[in-house]
Structure formats: structure tokens, C-alpha cells
Amino acid sequence: MGVAPREKWNSQAGFVMAAVGSAVGLGNMWRFSYLAAEHGGAAFVALYLVFTLFVGIPVLLAEFALGRGAGRSPIPALDHFGGPGWRWLGWLFVLSGFLILAYYGVIAGWTLRYAVAGLVGFSDDSGGFFAAVSTGAPAVAWQLGFMVLTAVVVIGGIRRGIERVALVLMPALFVLLVVLALYAVTLEGSGAGYRQYLNMDFAEIFDREVVVQAAGQAFFSLSLGMGAMLTFASYLDRGHDLKRESVVVAGADFGVAFLAGLVVFPLIFAFGLQDDVGESSVGALFITLPRAFSEMGAAGSVLGVLFFLGLAVGALTSAVSLLEVVVSSAIDQLGWSRVRATVVLAALTAVLGIPAALDTDWLGLMDQVAGNLFLVFGGLMLALLVGWRMADPIGVAQEGAASSSWLSAWRWLLRFAVPPILALVLLGSLGATWDAVTGFFGG
């Protein structure tokens, strides 16, 4: 058969940037800042860091190893290493990709709209503005616009689309955040923000809800548990040091989240808006922060536009990786062309997202189910597959790199530490999901 050879990344830096681009997104800014604000600042951050180091990095390396080793999309890759009995997990990954991208595109649409609106200055009635942005036809229109952007990049393919965009946009986003964080230092009254962000409330560390959300956040933020990193790694050559690359990607992801906190908290506190944040998942970023920008006057306009553009950029490179899971699966399973797969599946995802565009409570529910529960479950299954079922995971992970005792520790973690931890987290997540479902349908 005349099957075209599978595309490959152009350079090592290109792959790493694309993986960082997948990891860094709304998760680092929108999700991270509201969870940190809600769950005791530094206690949440510390737990999230622990999960990133001891659960996130091992599962990330597992996805990299599976992807590169099989050189195929998730369903055949899981079949290759686990046997046909593991194919369903690949289907679950595809489903997660659909569901997460469906609501992710909605929030990304808001960020685009905010960036454009900020050009003429942010309104001081930011609650009213958010209500207008997040309901009705405008919300759907901006979501669709964002999905079109995502589809254009994915149609470009690995080298000409995803890699090129990540290589330009990721460094730009990082520089932008550093500038904003430095600016925040100069604001009078920002000190209280740092204190809230960096002060530890130890009691929170033992709270079930905080633990569940910190673990879920580590998965969401690193794009784990649904085959995005696996799929990206399937376009790799041999000769990559995957363990190093997984540490670099996780480090960059944590760094950007931490940096985003150093922007959001001081800004909110400098303008005395902390009581405004409230309990909602959208409050900090989409209501309180724009008010801070509006109080800053002209400078706030410029900073706010840059901030929301940066968010949109992060969202784009993440959305691309979500869509790539679904698209690469259609290419492998159905034999579709890249263009056809992208157009059809992006359209389908956009339609699936419309209810979330019209109702932020529904959006929150989708995030709890697909963005937390499914990812934690997927991570648990991946750890079991690589830790217990695969014959020689160390050999597969190490191909092309020097052997090291680090990889034995990795395998040990995947066997004995990650599964029990994730099983516990999964129980907690089931509880949180149950609460979310009954809350949604009950009231």
C-alpha cells in the first residue's frame, strides 16, 4: 500500500517546544490561579509541585516512551505494548480529547474576546462584561473563531504547523509573563498578594478536596492521561533523551504556572480586589483581573491586551495538541487524510462545545469529568500498563540514551508509588465528580 511515511519533528528543540506548548495553556493561568486562590495559596502550590515531580514526570515519561516506541497514535500504540485488550484505553483518550477541547475552546474564545476588547480599554463593570462574553451567540462565535485557528495549525501538520507555531509563540509567551511579573513588583500594595500566594496554610495540605484538585491539576497542566504527549512523541526519531526531555517539559510547565501566580495575585491585591474573587472558577482571571487592568488606565489597557493575548497563545498551542490526538487517530484508524480529519473533527468538537459556551456551569461540569476524573483514571491505567504489563519499559524509554539508575527509579515509581496514589486520588475525584453532577442537576 502506498502509505506515506509518518511525519517527524524537524528538531529536538521543536519537539520540546511543542510539548511545552501543549502543557502550557489555560491550565497554567486560568485553572491554576483559581484553584490556588480557592485552596489556600502555597499549600495548593506545594502539593501540586509534589504531584508534578513524583507522579507527573513518571507518567509523562511513560507517555513519551509509549509514543516513540510504537510510532503510532494512542489506540495502536496501546495495542502494540499492551495487546488488543488495551485498545479501549486509546478510545477513552480520543473521547477525552473531544470533551476537553470542546470546553477548552470556549474559554480560549473568551480570552480572544478580552484581548480585542482591551484595545479600547477594559470596562470597570467587569462582571457585566463577563456575563455578556459568556452567554449567547457571541460566546459561540468566539469559540468557533478559536476552533478555526486551531484547525488551521493542525492542518499544517507536525513540522509546518504545530512545530513552527510553538517555536515562535512559546518563547514570546514566556518573555511576556516575565515582563508582567516584574511590573507587578513595582505596584504599591502588591506585597499582600505575594503573602497570600506564598504563605503556607498547612491545614489545607490534608484536605481531601485540595489533594484531589492538586493531583488533577498536575495531570491537566502537563496534558497527561489522554494521549496528547504520547501522540506528540510518536513523531519522534530515536536518539532523544526522553527522561531529560520530560524533566524539561515539566519544569517549564511548573515555571509558567508559578510565574502566572506572580502576575495574578499581586495585581489583584494591589488594587484591593481580593474579596471580589469569590468562589467561582472564572472570577480571578475573567472578572477581578480585568478590573485591575481597568483601574490602571492606559497602561492597564496595554498590559491587559498583552496578558489575554498571551493566554490565547498558550491556549492555541494546547488546543492543537488536543485536536492532534483525535486527528491522528482518525488518520490511523479510518485512513482519512489530515485535512479531512481536521475539518470534520474540529467541526464536531466545536458543536460539542456549544452547550458549554452557553452555560458556564455545564462547562465546569465537563471540566470536572473530562479534565479531572478521566485524566487521573487515564494516568492510573498508563502507570499500570508501563509499570506492570510492558516487558521492557526501561529499554523502550532509554533507546538512544545512556542507561541510568534514574530509569530504575522511574519504573519503581510507576509500579509501587503512582498506582496507589492515583487510586486514592481517583476515589476522591469520583466523590468530587458526584458532588459536581448532583450540584448541577440538583440546583
Distance CA 237, CA 9 (A): 8
Residue in 321, 329, 342, 398 binding ligand PHE, rule: CB under 6 A: 321
- Measured in whole angstroms, the distance separating CA 347 from the mean position of its chain's CA atoms is 21
- For residue 23, state whether it binds ligand PHE (rule: CB under 6 A): yes
Sign of the CA dihedral with 83 first, then 85, 87, and 92 last: negative
* CA-to-CA dists, residue 265 to 217, 396, 404, angstroms: 18, 43, 41
- For residue 322, state whether it binds ligand PHE (rule: CB under 6 A): yes
Q: How many helices (H) and strands (E) does the chain have?
A: 23, 0
- For residue 173, state whether it binds ligand PHE (rule: CB under 6 A): no
- For residue 286, state whether it binds ligand PHE (rule: CB under 6 A): no
Residue 65 or 407 having the CB closest to ligand PHE: 65
Query: How near is the Cβ of 226 to ligand PHE at its closest, in Å?
Result: 5
Query: How near is the Cβ of 115 to ligand PHE at its closest, in Å?
Result: 17
Query: How near is the Cβ of 27 to ligand PHE at its closest, in Å?
Result: 2
- For residue 100, state whether it binds ligand PHE (rule: CB under 6 A): yes
Query: How near is the Cβ of 26 to ligand PHE at its closest, in Å?
Result: 4
Residue 224 or 267 having the CB closest to ligand PHE: 224
The DSSP code for 373 is I
Long-range pairs for 385-392: beta carbons < 8 A, 24 or more residues apart: 385/62, 385/66, 385/78, 385/81, 385/82, 385/86, 385/89, 386/62, 386/65, 386/66, 386/81, 386/411, 386/414, 387/411, 387/414, 387/415, 387/418, 387/419, 388/415, 389/81, 389/82, 389/86, 390/81, 390/82
- For residue 26, state whether it binds ligand PHE (rule: CB under 6 A): yes
Binding characters for ligand PHE, 211-230, by CB under 6 A (x = yes): ---------xx-x--x-x--
Residue 296 or 325 having the CB closest to ligand PHE: 325
CA atoms within 13 A on the CB side of 125: 5
Distance CA 353, CA 269 (A): 34
- For residue 318, state whether it binds ligand PHE (rule: CB under 6 A): yes
Query: For residue 278, which of 136, 128, 127 has the smallest C-alpha distance?
Result: 127
Query: How near is the Cβ of 345 to ligand PHE at its closest, in Å?
Result: 15
Query: How near is the Cβ of 35 to ligand PHE at its closest, in Å?
Result: 12
Residue 52 or 223 having the CB closest to ligand PHE: 223
- Measured in whole angstroms, the distance separating CA 237 from the mean position of its chain's CA atoms is 25
Query: How near is the Cβ of 221 to ligand PHE at its closest, in Å?
Result: 4
- For residue 281, state whether it binds ligand PHE (rule: CB under 6 A): no
Query: How near is the Cβ of 195 to ligand PHE at its closest, in Å?
Result: 26
- For residue 28, state whether it binds ligand PHE (rule: CB under 6 A): yes
The DSSP code for 226 is S
Which residues in this chain contact ligand PHE in the complex, by CB under 6 A?
22-23, 25-28, 100, 220-221, 223, 226, 228, 318, 321-322
